[in-house]
Structure 1
């Protein structure tokens, strides 16, 4: 028997009697690998919630204004579907209303990324098999991944609780637990998906699909009722976080409901993990045709990324319809509050409030589309590190043609999803199709700039490629909470989106559009040059 086989046998025996052996070492490894990503996620989520106190105190500085806002939300179904109902019109209640749902969604996204990264991705790349040749228990990798997610969500909960404790310790703790608990809930859900699926991409897709469904259920339920009591709201884990009712006669038993769901999903995940081999899954990939039908590198790139692109396209179209329908209710929400009107105008740039709302939403679509573009570009990095690119490039396929297929989907797909978001807003708003399509397309050069930066990092500095996510996240944070915090123009201009004309509106400036397009082209050319010269990663 070879040394490798002996080591494998030893690991299996050790894992059978000690299924959690090596958990501490794997946890330390996971925290080390995520030492940059985790703090950024935690700080952004917590800062988004805590910083809302100052902005809301400035916007609604009197009891009468806050009461008027709560009454407006109770009568505005479109805005309730976006933010949820206002359970209390104190500053704490308004913070929970305005930021609680979105913070819970971000915590869920962070958690599913962490768990899939340290479970299915490790198996997909072959690293888990190498680690399992040591004294590592069968359930240790999953345990370490979940503990990493728990630590991240606990940090978010602690920062939110500490930052809002001045508004009331009970309410601050309830909101922190609701956000962190939602993150842990989706972490355990991602753990189940990682056991069922055979690829990290499918595991993320399954969990993201459940998250999207949860948000839609919550939005549909809140649109129908003003007190969060809809059956649809209670069918959604996002709705559970909302119904904790932080700063409004907290419902602590809902926290216990979240904890029970977490415990149940943990049992399922660990049971499944103990019944499969490393690299295997309960939903095997469907075998392809007997004869290959992919003749080009571009065709292979399309085959690998088509499902992701179609999912993003459908999501942007539906979201565009929803936000387009909300545009007519923006004026009712803001009313005569000039400070709130200024925030929409800072985000949207035009005097007309409806146009400002549509411009702000279009800009938000652009920043989210940048996440798709970065992910699509970095798919090449995943293909390379998993050693699937090397057999292709060993044949009569050059690096540039191979990259061109993925880049066509990344850059072209970004333009497509933006067009669909504009079309969706026109459908929801009931007109202005040319204006809204133009507003959507104006965002594309900024999206391309971030995609090209990701290409530069991957092509020239592959070990730093993950930093592209940090840049995209920073731009999203600046666009999302920057105007509400009244950040100076010089800070907002750090994002390429800060230089674009705000449409729909009467004025169009072509200079920033042309300059950003040229910048994207230059960054992409530099990235391709670096990819052509460097060695492949092993």
Structure 2
């Protein structure tokens, strides 16, 4: 048929209408998470920029800034400092990497959920049988996520300009964060075409982001390897150096990376079958019957592979933390002003090895809490996808099914904090830092109650609001840490800071544990698990 005939018969309007429906579907699926990351990104950056004069002021002299820029430990952990004597430069250094990680991780999780997750669950079957092909459906979902990234970056730039920072630096920083997010979205979109399961696609993209973050850290800390910072997505963001050099070329690298990844995703989308990936599962392999004798052992089996990945990431990071102990503590001991700024950011006592590891061990509660929330979210997804239907139809109680998941997740969280403690001790031993293995393990186990609060919150959400398991599960760990940083940075009333569970953690191993607070947090976590289990038993099975 000719183009005129197609238009006359209504094919084009119908196809356009189908495309708009797909776009509206994608917006509905990501709008809540997008609103959260939007608010966190804009709010956190604006807060730091507007309070710069009050919290930092003129206390940073040229000699102190030069010492900070030369210190490899500071550069490795926080990035190369630039223009710290300005509100914009300090804001970028203080929040840039954190927000880049938050936005990119949200982008990849949202992408694999609304693409590979929806397709694997069979909810794309009718959609792909209509007028919109696989590439078109994928493209509209990626476009929505890219639009969220662009709007977030634009709002951030506008907020920084309104806070009084130069417009060019604000625009570059906002554009950089937006492009980092689109790189993560494009990488996840490509992984969703390669791998047949959402978990595999998510894991592959997380590996990509982890390698990129490691390349940025090594490139910043080791001058001869500075070229590693050109590897996307996080290195080029640092190379833009807003408010100082204002370089545009690193953003071009991020944009080209996005284009290449999207092109690969669209190419593969039309060359595979629905629900399949480029990498097909092995066929004809012998049955693997280990850990299939009970619900409890099967829960362990499902956790082992994710736990190995989380352990590798956490272990690598805290190995680096231990290896940098001497360098960073000596630097802060010689530069009291930066020690004060670190204390305002929630990291007090960094002048000694025990104080240094105690402060950074607080960060451990965030990934461990995320691990517990993600495991319960996977359990909720298994219910939604119908993988638990036969179990629910049998004699097995739902309480036992959930109890097995909670118990194995608790053991996994304990394993993660143990790995972190051992890795920190090993890194410290390499540089002859004064840190024993029992002290390191005591420090990491001290934050486990916060992770258990995340577990309890996730179980509570499973029973009362199953769609919000991951978000509500992250609230005590990630939300609590953010509240602590904001309260310390802005001089908020003391009661605001005490709302965070981190305010009740002792600085172990520098001081003895706060056993009453630990007992209260464990009791609250147990209560949340009990209430959530009751709700899970009483509510209908999700379909």
TM-score higher than 0.5: yes
Change (3 A) 1:18 1:427: farther
Q: How does 1:141-180 map to 2 (within 5 A)?
A: 141-165=137-161, 166-180=164-178
Contact 1:21 1:140 in 2 (8 A): no
3-state SS, counterpart of residue 513 of structure 2? coil
Contact 2:173 2:242 in 1 (8 A): yes
User: What's the offset of the Cα at 1:470?
Assistant: 5.8
Q: 1:230 aligns with which of 226, 233, 240?
A: 226
Q: How does 1:238-387 map to 2 (within 5 A)?
A: 238-287=234-283, 289-290=286-287, 292-293=289-290, 294-328=292-326, 329-333=328-332, 335-338=334-337, 340-341=339-340, 343-344=342-343, 347-348=346-347, 353-387=352-386
Whole-angstrom CA distance in 2 between matches of 1:429 and 1:462:
42
1:349-386: CA deviation from partner (whole Å, max 9, x where unpaired): 65965444322211111122111111112221011000
Change (3 A) 1:76 1:464: closer
1:152-175: CA deviation from partner (whole Å, max 9, x where unpaired): 211221122112222111111011
Whole-angstrom CA distance in 2 between matches of 1:393 and 1:428:
47
Contact 2:232 2:254 in 1 (8 A): no
Change (3 A) 1:304 1:141: farther
User: What's the offset of the Cα at 1:98?
Assistant: 2.7
Whole-angstrom CA distance in 1 between matches of 2:108 and 2:116:
11
User: What's the offset of the Cα at 1:503?
Assistant: 1.6
Whole-angstrom CA distance in 1 between matches of 2:541 and 2:520:
32
Bigger Cα displacement from structure 2, 24-33 vs 336-345: 336-345
Contact 1:15 1:21 in 2 (8 A): no
Q: 1:68 aligns with which of 47, 63, 68?
A: 63
Change (3 A) 1:316 1:241: same
3-state SS, counterpart of residue 65 of structure 1? coil
Question: Could you say which residue in structure 1 is the equivalent of 2:450?
Answer: 446
1:445-474: CA deviation from partner (whole Å, max 9, x where unpaired): 121112111101102332443541562442
Whole-angstrom CA distance in 2 between matches of 1:74 and 1:339:
12
Structure 2 regions of 5+ residues with no counterpart? 1-9, 430-434
3-state SS, counterpart of residue 490 of structure 2? coil
Whole-angstrom CA distance in 1 between matches of 2:344 and 2:240:
33
1:265-307: CA deviation from partner (whole Å, max 9, x where unpaired): 1111111111122211101223453474422212322232221
Q: 2:535 aligns with which of 524, 527, 530?
A: 530
Whole-angstrom CA distance in 2 between matches of 1:271 and 1:167:
42
Contact 2:296 2:405 in 1 (8 A): yes
Change (3 A) 1:345 1:105: closer
Tell me if 1:190 matches 2:188: yes
RMSD of aligned residue pairs (Cα, Å): 2.7
Q: 2:74 aligns with which of 75, 79, 85?
A: 79
Question: Could you say which residue in structure 1 is the equivalent of 2:508?
Answer: 503
1:217-258: CA deviation from partner (whole Å, max 9, x where unpaired): 1111111129xx822222342111111121112111222222
Contact 1:345 1:353 in 2 (8 A): no
Change (3 A) 1:351 1:235: closer
Structure 1 regions of 5+ residues with no counterpart? 1-13
Whole-angstrom CA distance in 2 between matches of 1:196 and 1:118:
15
3-state SS, counterpart of residue 456 of structure 1? helix
Whole-angstrom CA distance in 2 between matches of 1:371 and 1:330:
29
Change (3 A) 1:98 1:462: closer
Contact 2:457 2:525 in 1 (8 A): yes
Whole-angstrom CA distance in 1 between matches of 2:396 and 2:372:
24
User: What's the offset of the Cα at 1:400?
Assistant: 2.6
Whole-angstrom CA distance in 1 between matches of 2:90 and 2:313:
28
Whole-angstrom CA distance in 1 between matches of 2:111 and 2:81:
33
Tell me if 1:116 matches 2:120: no
Bigger Cα displacement from structure 2, 405-414 vs 331-340: 331-340
Change (3 A) 1:86 1:342: closer
Contact 1:233 1:240 in 2 (8 A): yes
Tell me if 1:483 matches 2:488: yes
3-state SS, counterpart of residue 60 of structure 2? helix
3-state SS, counterpart of residue 246 of structure 2? coil
Whole-angstrom CA distance in 2 between matches of 1:15 and 1:237:
41
Contact 1:400 1:532 in 2 (8 A): yes
Bigger Cα displacement from structure 2, 188-197 vs 98-107: 98-107
Change (3 A) 1:462 1:186: closer
Contact 2:229 2:236 in 1 (8 A): yes
How many residues align structurally?
A: 522
3-state SS, counterpart of residue 503 of structure 1? coil
Question: Could you say which residue in structure 2 is the equivalent of 1:9?
Answer: none
Bigger Cα displacement from structure 2, 405-414 vs 509-518: 405-414
Change (3 A) 1:259 1:485: same
Change (3 A) 1:15 1:138: farther
Whole-angstrom CA distance in 1 between matches of 2:74 and 2:525:
36
Q: 1:51 aligns with which of 40, 47, 50?
A: 47
1:30-79: CA deviation from partner (whole Å, max 9, x where unpaired): 222333211111111232333222454344422x7252343122321111
Q: How does 1:409-428 map to 2 (within 5 A)?
A: 409-428=408-427
Whole-angstrom CA distance in 1 between matches of 2:389 and 2:276:
23
User: What's the offset of the Cα at 1:483?
Assistant: 2.4
Q: TM-score, normalised by structure 2?
A: 0.89
Change (3 A) 1:56 1:327: farther
